[in-house]
Chain A
Amino acid sequence: MSWIEAIFAILVNPLFYKLTLLSATPLIFSALGGTYSEITGVTNIALEGIMLMGAFNSIVFTLITGNAWIGVLMAVIIGVGFTWFHAWASIRWSANQIVSATALVIVAQGTTSFLMIPIFGNEGQTDFIGRVPYIEIGWLKGVPFVGDIFGSMSPFTYLAIAAVIASWILMYRTPLGLRMRAVGENPEAADTLGINVFKTRYFGVLMSGALSSLGGAFLSVGELGRFVENMIHGRGFIALAAMILGNWNPAGAMWAALLFGAAEAMNLQLQSSSIVSVSANVKPLFNMLPFIVTLIVVGGFIGKTRSPAADGEPYEKES
């Protein structure tokens, strides 16, 4: 049974775990972002578009400034500004949140493709612009297995895990976190208690913009060092699935993102496995794997998690 043999060979190889962590990194950022937004009661299915903007802007500003970290910072700032439109429409104007977020996804696709020629002079993808180097831990490299995974790792991955821990503390151990959850569960009651529903919701939505931008920036300046049109490939929506599977909890979102990351890592490793030689035209079938896993998870587990009670409901002060 060459298939079982191949999967076993992949599972005992540390490279699989390293790829799982790397594939999960953008999903962790965005699933965490989605959690921030929805926990305050605003759905944000625009993560895909915000990630695309993040990937694009970080490359643009790396090109301009020559420093990838400044690129990342600018991507976050612009991403927050871009996400503000969704927050404004949803909170101030009681917009249909699904539709307004879809608008952001389409504007992001249009804008990034539109600016390719004016900024980079070519379509499709940019040249290599620059990337954030991996963190090398020399002494760890000698350790078997663990060293192969963490000896050389993207700083974004550490940042993502730190963000998960910080967010968990913020949401469950601080007054702000309590306010956020109150606003997402019962805005009327929260309002009566003197919590500013609108401000809290703006905070939640804008945080989703900042985190998703980081997720997008990871894919360009964190990994490839270049921007490729539509490079997010549905990850923003997979992140939403991770948020749901994670039961709107930062730690849950991380575990779910790791599961989807593992599906992607398995896909990549199977395609390059020497035990089951995969011919080129069958590769698209393997590329379905992360999407099928997501579909099954969304279909199979969703009834077992619970969304914030006022998720997606506009709040209007009675006047």
Chain B
Amino acid sequence: MDRSKIYALLVPIVSVIIALLIASIVIIIIGKNPLTAYRIMLEGAFGGAEQLANTIIKMTPLILTGLAVGFGFRAGVFNIGAEGQMTIGALMGAIVAMNIGGVPSVIAIPLSIIVGMLAGAFWASIAGFLKAFTGAHEVISTIMLNWIAANFASFMVTGPLAVGSGTPKSPEIAEAAKLPVVLKVQATELSIGIFIAVIVAVVMYVFIEKTTTGYELKGVGFNPYAAEYGGISIRKSIIMTMAISGALAGMAGIVDLLGVPPHRFVGELTGGRGFDGITIALIGRNNPIGIIFAALLIAALRTGSNAMQIRAQIPNDIVSIIQGIVIFLVAAERIVTTLIYLKGRKGVTTA
């Protein structure tokens, strides 16, 4: 392996380790023991069949949002709006899934997912269109679309879709639209969602690495001017990239809803998973296969930190701090490569 490939692997790993070390200082500051905290975290994420099932359930939409953001990065677009695309995808897909009783699952499930993907693609395309034709920076426009989506979602669950009393929620989706359960551990049901997500990751890998369109979109991300000189329309590429990225995020929303109880749309549902996609894409180096492992790591942090909150009274927001530090270090990867370099040199001189 050449040096750049080793660094590509080392930088994310070292970044995660540094982030965990800094987080342990934060834990010490609030008067808790970081070793206990991380042990509980590990147990909470992998300590038994139910914990493992929970981690995999959390991991499913994260693979897809990671792919959404990562694909955008590859093509030179920063889709920070996976959150909103996920919401719109889940909302529109859920409306289909609620009203689709009486048809077999082989039709109901794909149809709901496709509608969710199209809705996500449409939502992201608004930002893509604005960037392509007016130069509006996608970071601002996708964030605005996130807030519009969140407000629209909360309108839908308190108004047109509302059922029952208590927390706002939509009706349950039709039985036929629920994803088949492959494993049942006590109350936790693991659906085929994880297989869908992994297959999509493989498809994206092939699309990016082995097809002409994938190559062109990557080319625009790498050097837009050269790509345009080579006859690729930048405008078309930007809109298409946003649409594909949004479709993946929309899929994350609808697959989660079809696969995980209560199988209802509950409004602002995403709980930061769109933003998790950014961390996952960066740790996975925007490589679909790397993203699967990065999603596992973040999912484990999420489930593990819930256990940590309950058993060690350490707020689970520590995960956001860890993620932020990882993102920072990957953005400024020269800090990390310099550290690795210095460490390596020190090793040589002392030996």
Q: Which of under 10, 10 to 19, 20 to 34, or 35 or more describes the interface residues of B?
A: 35 or more
Q: Decide yes or no whether A186 CB sits under 8 A from chain B.
A: no
Q: Residues 124-145 of chain A: 1 if any B CB is under 8 Å from the residue's CB, otherwise 0?
A: 0000000000000000000000
Partner of A118, one of B30, B78, B152, B333: B30
Residues of B within 8 A of A284 (CB): 151-152, 154-155, 158
Q: What chain B residues lie within 8 Å of A98 (beta carbons)?
A: 78, 139
Closest to A233 in B: B147
Any B CB within 8 A of the CB of A163: no
**Complex contact A111–B147 (CB within 8 A):** no
- Which chain A positions have C-beta within 8 A of B325? 103, 107
Asked if A104 and B328 sit within 8 Å, CB to CB, the answer is yes
- Closest chain-B Cβ to A296's Cβ sits at a distance in Å of 9
Asked if A116 CB lies within 8 Å of chain B CBs, one says: yes
Contact A288 B151 (CB under 8 A): yes
Contact B315 A294 (CB under 8 A): no
By the criterion CB–CB under 8 Å, are A281 and B158 in contact? Answer: yes
- Could you say which residues of chain A place their CB within 8 Å of the CB of B139? 45, 98, 237
Max chain B C-beta neighbours (<10 A), residue from A102, A106, A115: A106
CB <8 Å contact, B324 and A89? no
Q: Give the shortest distance, in Å, between A114 (CB) and chain B (any CB).
A: 4
**Residues A302 and B135 in contact in the complex (CB < 8 Å), given A102-B80, A109-B320, A285-B151:** yes
A281 x B324 contact (CB < 8 A): no
Closest-CB distance, A306 to chain B (whole angstroms): 11
Asked if A89 and B328 sit within 8 Å, CB to CB, the answer is: yes
With A99-B327, A285-B151 already in contact, the answer to whether A114 and B144 are too (CB < 8 A) is: no
Beta-carbon contacts under 8 Å, A274-319 to B = 280-282, 284-285, 287-288, 291-292, 294-295, 298-300, 302-303
| A241 interface residue (CB < 8 Å to B) | yes
Known A106-B275, A107-B325, A284-B158; contact A294-B140, beta-carbon cutoff 8 A: yes
Asked whether B321 lies within 8 Å of A103 as measured between CB atoms, the reply is: no
Whether A110 contacts B324 in the complex (CB less than 8 A), given A281-B158, A284-B154, A285-B155, comes out as yes
Is B334's beta carbon under 8 Å from chain A?
Answer: yes
Q: How far is the CA of A269 from the CA of B154 in the complex (A)?
A: 20
Query: Are A89 and B335 within 8 A (Cβ)?
Result: yes
Contact between chains at A113 and B317 (CB < 8 Å): yes
CB of B130 within 8 Å of the partner chain: yes
B147 A288 Cβ-Cβ under 8 A: yes
A295 touches B145 (CB 8 A): yes
B140/A102 in contact, CB under 8 A: no
Contact A234 B320 (CB under 8 A): no
Contact among A97, A99, A114, A282 with B155 in the assembled complex (CB-CB below 8 Å): A282
A227 to chain B, nearest CB (A): 14
The reply to whether B130 and A99 contact each other, CB–CB distance below 8 Å, is no
Residue of B nearest to A285 (CB): B155
> A99-B331, A102-B278, A284-B151 are known contacts. Are A110 and B136 too (CB-CB below 8 A)?
no
**A111 CA / B319 CA spacing, docked (Å):** 10
What chain A residues lie within 8 Å of B328 (beta carbons)? 85, 89, 100, 103-104, 107
A302 touches B282 (CB 8 A): no
How distant is the Cα of A100 from the Cα of B325 in the complex, in angstroms?
9
| Cβ-defined contact, A89 with B332, below 8 A | yes
What chain B residues lie within 8 Å of A85 (beta carbons)? 328
User: Interface residues of A, CB < 8 Å — how many?
Assistant: 50
Least Cβ distance of A44 to chain B in Å? 12
Interface residues of B in 265-281 (CB under 8 A from A): 275, 278-279
Q: How far is the CB of B171 from chain A (nearest CB, A)?
A: 16
Tell me the residues in window 12-34 of chain B with beta carbons closer than 8 Å to chain A beta carbons: 26, 30-31
The residue of chain B having its C-beta at the shortest distance from the C-beta of A293 within the complex is: B144
Contacts of B275 in A (CB 8 A): 106
Distance to closest chain B CB from A305 (angstroms): 10
Within A54-108, the residues touching B (CB, 8 Å) are 85, 89, 93-100, 102-108
In the complex, B162 has a CB within 8 A of chain A: yes
Chain A proximity mask over B265-308: 1 for CB below 8 Å, otherwise 0 = 00000000001001100100000000000000000000000000
From A94, A105, A111, A295, B321 is in contact (CB under 8 Å) with: A111
Q: Are B136 and A95 in contact (CB under 8 A)?
A: no
What residues on A are CB-neighbors of B198 within 8 Å? Answer: none
Cα separation A96 to B330 with both chains bound (whole Å): 9
Render B307-322 as a binary contact track against A, CB cut-off 8 A, 1 for contact: 0000001010111111
Whether, in the assembled complex, B323 has its beta carbon less than 8 Å from a beta carbon of chain A, the answer is yes
Contact yes or no, A294 B319, CB < 8 A = no
Q: Is the CB of B320 within 8 A of A107?
A: yes
A285-B134 in contact (CB<8A): no
Besides A118-B31, A294-B144, 14 new A-B residue pairs in contact (Cβ under 8 A), listed by A number? A95-B333, A100-B327, A102-B80, A108-B324, A237-B143, A281-B158, A284-B155, A284-B158, A285-B152, A288-B147, A288-B148, A291-B148, A299-B136, A302-B134
A interface with B by C-beta (< 8 Å): 45, 85, 89, 93-100, 102-111, 113-118, 233-234, 237-238, 240-241, 244, 280-282, 284-285, 287-288, 291-292, 294-295, 298-300, 302-303
What are 19 A-B pairs with beta-carbon distances under 8 A?
Answer: A89-B332, A99-B331, A102-B80, A108-B324, A110-B323, A113-B317, A114-B318, A234-B143, A234-B146, A281-B158, A284-B151, A285-B152, A291-B144, A294-B140, A295-B130, A298-B136, A299-B141, A300-B134, A302-B135
